Amino acid sequence: MWKGRFSQETDMRVQDFSQSLDLDWRLAKWDIRGSLAHGEMLAKQGLISLEELDSIREGFQSILEEIDRGEFVPDKELEDVHMNLESRLTERIGDAGARLHTGRSRNDQVGTTMRLYVKDQLCEVKEGLGDLLEALLDRAEAHREVIVPGYTHLQQAQPISMGHFWMAHFQAFSRDLRRLEFARDSSDECPLGCGALAGSTLPLDREYTSQILGFSRLCENSMDGVAQRDYIYDVLSFASMFAVHCSRLAEDLIIYFSSEFGWVKLPDGFCTGSSIMPQKKNPDVLELVRGRTGQVIGHMVDLLITLKGLPMTYNRDLQEDKRGLFSTFDVLSHVLGVLPSLIKSVEVDADRAAESFSDGMALATDVAEYLVTKGVPFREAHHRVGSLVGWCVREGMSLFDLTVEQFREFLGEETGDDLLPMVDLEAAVARRDTEGGTGFRQVSRQIDKGRELLGRI
Ligand code: ARG
CB 389 within 8 A of CB 410: no
pLDDT for 84-114, tens place per residue?
Answer: 999 999 999 999 999 999 999 999 999 999 9
Asked if the structure places residue 1 within a domain, the reply is: no
- Indicate which CATH number applies to the domain containing 318: 1.20.200.10
Looking at residue 4, its pLDDT comes to: 83
Does the CB atom of residue 143 touch ligand 1 within 6 A?
no
Asked if the structure places residue 98 within a domain, the reply is: yes
Q: Which residues, at least 6 apart from 293, have a Cβ–Cβ distance to it below 8 Å?
A: 240, 243, 244, 246, 247
Closest atom, ligand 1, to C-alpha of 80: 1
Name the residue of 31, 106, 232, 310 to mutate for ligand 1: max ligand atoms within 8 A of Cβ. Answer: 106
The verdict on 404 and 256 lying in the same domain is: no
The verdict on 412 and 435 lying in the same domain is: yes
**Could you tell me the pLDDT band of residue 394, with boundaries at 50, 70 and 90?**
very high
Does the CB atom of residue 110 touch ligand 1 within 6 A?
yes
323-327, Cβ contacts within 8 angstroms, sequence gap of 24 or more: 323/23, 323/299, 324/236, 324/298, 324/299, 324/300, 325/114, 325/118, 325/232, 325/235, 325/236, 325/299, 326/23, 326/26, 327/295, 327/299
Asked if the structure places residue 206 within a domain, the reply is: no
The verdict on 253 and 364 lying in the same domain is: no
The verdict on 285 and 318 lying in the same domain is: yes
Asked if the structure places residue 339 within a domain, the reply is: yes
Looking at residue 61, its pLDDT comes to: 98
* Rounded Cα gap, residues 141 and 119, in angstroms: 33
Number of domains comprising the chain: 3
Q: Is pLDDT above 90 for 436?
A: yes
Residue closest via CA to ligand 1's atom 6 equals: 106
State ipTM.
0.96
The verdict on 280 and 168 lying in the same domain is: yes
Ligand 1 mean position to 225 CA, how many Å? 14
Looking at residue 72, its pLDDT comes to: 96
Question: Catalytic site residues?
Answer: 153, 274
Q: Which residues, at least 6 apart from 321, have a Cβ–Cβ distance to it below 8 Å?
A: 114, 229, 232, 303, 306
- Please give the share of the chain, as a percent, with pLDDT higher than 70: 100
Task: Residue 17: give the domain boundaries.
Answer: 11-102
- Indicate which CATH number applies to the domain containing 438: 1.10.40.30
Looking at residue 433, its pLDDT comes to: 97
* Rounded Cα gap, residues 118 and 271, in angstroms: 33
What Cα–Cα distance (Å) separates residue 176 from each residue in 173, 182, 229, 362, 426?
5, 10, 20, 32, 33
**Could you tell me the pLDDT band of residue 144, with boundaries at 50, 70 and 90?**
very high
pTM value?
0.96
The verdict on 155 and 258 lying in the same domain is: yes
Of 335, 354, 373, which residue is a domain's last? 354
Closest atom, ligand 1, to C-alpha of 24: 4
Cα–Cα nearest to 425, from 140, 160, 142, 143: 160
* Rounded Cα gap, residues 247 and 213, in angstroms: 36
Does the CB atom of residue 314 touch ligand 1 within 6 A?
yes
Q: Which residues, at least 6 apart from 309, have a Cβ–Cβ distance to it below 8 Å?
A: none
The verdict on 55 and 114 lying in the same domain is: no
The verdict on 134 and 79 lying in the same domain is: no
Asked if the structure places residue 448 within a domain, the reply is: yes
The verdict on 26 and 165 lying in the same domain is: no
12 vs 333, more confident = 333
Q: Is pLDDT above 90 for 233?
A: yes
Asked if the structure places residue 87 within a domain, the reply is: yes
Closest atom, ligand 1, to C-alpha of 322: 4
Looking at residue 3, its pLDDT comes to: 77
The verdict on 229 and 191 lying in the same domain is: yes
Of 70, 85, 102, which residue is a domain's last? 102
Looking at residue 335, its pLDDT comes to: 98
Asked if the structure places residue 288 within a domain, the reply is: yes
pLDDT for 12-60, tens place per residue?
Answer: 899 999 999 999 999 999 999 999 999 999 999 999 999 999 999 999 9
pLDDT for 378-391, tens place per residue?
Answer: 999 999 999 999 99
Looking at residue 5, its pLDDT comes to: 86
Of 330, 354, 378, which residue is a domain's last? 354
Cβ atoms within 10 Å, residue 36: 19
Looking at residue 10, its pLDDT comes to: 86
The verdict on 95 and 160 lying in the same domain is: no
**Could you tell me the pLDDT band of residue 287, with boundaries at 50, 70 and 90?**
very high
Does the CB atom of residue 106 touch ligand 1 within 6 A?
yes
Asked if the structure places residue 207 within a domain, the reply is: no
The verdict on 255 and 365 lying in the same domain is: no
Q: Is pLDDT above 90 for 240?
A: yes
**Could you tell me the pLDDT band of residue 81, with boundaries at 50, 70 and 90?**
very high
- Indicate which CATH number applies to the domain containing 62: 1.10.275.10
Does the CB atom of residue 313 touch ligand 1 within 6 A?
no
What Cα–Cα distance (Å) separates residue 46 from each residue in 43, 126, 190, 213, 302?
5, 40, 22, 20, 43
